[in-house]
Amino acid sequence: MADQIVGSTASTIWDRVPPIGLTGYPGLRIGVLALQGSFLEHSLMLRRLGVDVVEVRTPDQLKGINGLILPGGESTTISTLIGLHGFRDPILEVADAGMPIWGTCAGMILLARSLTQEPPVPLRLINIDVSRNAFGRQLASFEAPITWSVFGAPPFPGIFIRAPSITDVDPEVEILASILDEIPVAARQMNIVVSSFHPELTTDDRFHRYFIDMVKEA
């Protein structure tokens, strides 16, 4: 049976993105935690920008990267898999060593200091409190233009899917963007950055370029 399995000849979405390493950022490699959720979309966006990407499935892969993205998805599932695959301490170690880490949506939930309801037990890497599903259930998902203190016009197309909200931030946390004038939706504390929306589901690469700059500077 096994000898009948040959490499797939089907064309895939990967055929449409540039090959690894052709352009962009020599020596820079970004990992996307690929346990569950929108890791493929992050990979594609980074590859389009010419970044060498590693889909991280084992903790030892954290050694070869300069930055890490925790994608959106289901935070309870990702948290369980982080525990099962032994990722918790290795992620805390690379964060402590200054590696830039970006969490989008479920990824933001996982990076928070505390959640209104635990489990999941977050990694507590950024001093924000987060409420899961704060804008309602799946049907209450929405899009909203986001005004960026960092990038200016035009507004960023914010895609919110069963999104969490940031309910409290400590003074050392910089709020990058808010919606409805007061709800923070993107924030940063040193090497940790979070967004409650999904830039990887848009064609707007400004947030990814912002993260690439963080990684270059680290």
Q: Is 105 in the site for ligand GLN (CB under 6 A)?
A: yes
Angle of CA points 79, 82, 86, to nearest 5°: 150
List of residues 6+ apart from 162 with CB closer than 8 A: 133, 135, 136, 137, 138, 140, 141
Q: Is 122 in the site for ligand GLN (CB under 6 A)?
A: no
Q: Which of 113, 132, 188, 208 binds ligand GLN (CB under 6 A)?
A: 132
158 binds ligand GLN (CB under 6 A): no
Beta-bridge partners for 32: 55, 69
Known active-site residue 200: yes
Asked if 67 and 101 count as a contact pair (C-beta separation under 8 A), the reply is yes
Q: Indicate if 198 belongs to the active site.
A: yes
103 binds ligand GLN (CB under 6 A): no
Least distance in angstroms from the C-beta of 72 to ligand GLN: 3
Give the C-alpha separation, 124 to 121, whole Å.
8
The conformation of residue 91, written as its DSSP 8-state character, comes to: H
Q: Is 80 a residue that touches ligand GLN (CB under 6 A)?
A: no
**Catalytic (active site) residue 74:** no
The residue among 161, 201, 200, 193 whose CA lies nearest residue 177 is: 193
Among 70, 91, 94, 109, binds ligand GLN (CB under 6 A): 109
Told to check if 42 binds ligand GLN by CB under 6 A, we report no
Confirm or reject binding of residue 55 to ligand GLN (CB under 6 A). Answer: no
Minimum Å gap between C-beta 97 and ligand GLN is 26
> Of 41, 42, 198, 208, which residue is the catalytic one?
198
Burial bucket for residue 184 (CB in 10 Å: 0-12, 13-18, 19+): buried
Closest CA relative to residue 109, chosen from 121, 101, 97, 93? 121
Candidates 127, 133, 147, 167: give the one binding ligand GLN (CB under 6 A): 133
Binding of residue 212 to ligand GLN (CB under 6 A)? no
- Six-digit token pair at 60? 């030892």
Q: Catalytic residue numbers?
A: 105, 198, 200
Binding site for ligand GLN (CB under 6 A): 72-75, 105-106, 109, 132-133, 161-162
